[in-house]
Amino acid sequence: MEQSQSKPVFPAGVYGITAAKFSADRSNLEVVRQMIAGGIRLIQYREKRPHKSFAEMLDECRAIRQLTREAGVVFIVNDYPDIAQLVDADGVHVGQDDFPVAEVRRLIGPNKLIGLSTHGPEQAAAAVASGADYLGVGPIFSTQTKEDVCAPVGLGYLDHVARTCPLPFVAIGGIKEHNLHQVLAHGAKTVCLVTEIVGAADIAATARRLQAACI
């Protein structure tokens, strides 16, 4: 298996995430294909058991890795460093209750990105100290996209991270086209809009419009 030789650059703009539940019966592969057509430069695969088996997730990630590699798009796998390794993804994103960053680093090596979700200043400081490459900051607003999500952290925490964090970060959670300008005005350079993109009638056109607003 071919392995990446250098750590990818974390891009500004829209951070795409798969969400089969909200994708209007379109496959994750088709959604990713349209995201790429819309100019998104970073895509995270986020699906979980029991909604999908490990075999299904591995097959989808292999196909998405092929698409993203051909397009020069950064590909991140959520939660599963083993799947990320098997498909030679560009990195892994984990939450506060998942494998610690140091353990993920042992599994995937020095040349992959590791993102860590954070919900407050102490977690942000700990993420920097842990060796994470980028932070997830959120949920900024209320969201129903993710199960067992914590309460919204609001724009105040985003202000704190933008002002003090030396690492790149992605703002996430309840972000829609109508409130995107607020998030950008508070210092976010990379933003995630999940249902706004995967549920759009024309994913490519929506992604293109949102990407243009961010950069």
Burial of 75 (0-12, 13-18, 19+ CB in 10 A): buried
Strand ranges, E, within 108-201: 113-118, 134-137, 169-171, 190-191
Q: Which of 111, 101, 164 is nearest to 137 (CA)?
A: 164
Is residue 146 among the annotated active site residues?
Answer: yes
Please say whether the beta carbons of 115 and 108 come within 8 A. Answer: no
Give the Cα separation of 78 and 146 in Å (integer).
12
Gap between the Cα atoms of 45 and 95, Å rounded: 14
Identity of residue 146: K
* Options 23, 65, 112, 117, the catalytic residue: 117
- Tell me, yes or no, if 48 is annotated catalytic: no
Query: Are 22 and 202 within 8 A, CB to CB?
Result: no
Rg of the chain over all Cα atoms, to the nearest angstrom: 16
Which residues contact residue 7 at a Cβ distance below 8 angstroms, ignoring those fewer than 6 apart? 110, 111, 112, 113, 133
Which of these is catalytic: 33, 41, 46, 105?
A: 46
Is residue 62 part of the annotated active site? The answer reads: no
Provide the annotated active-site residues.
Answer: 46, 117, 146
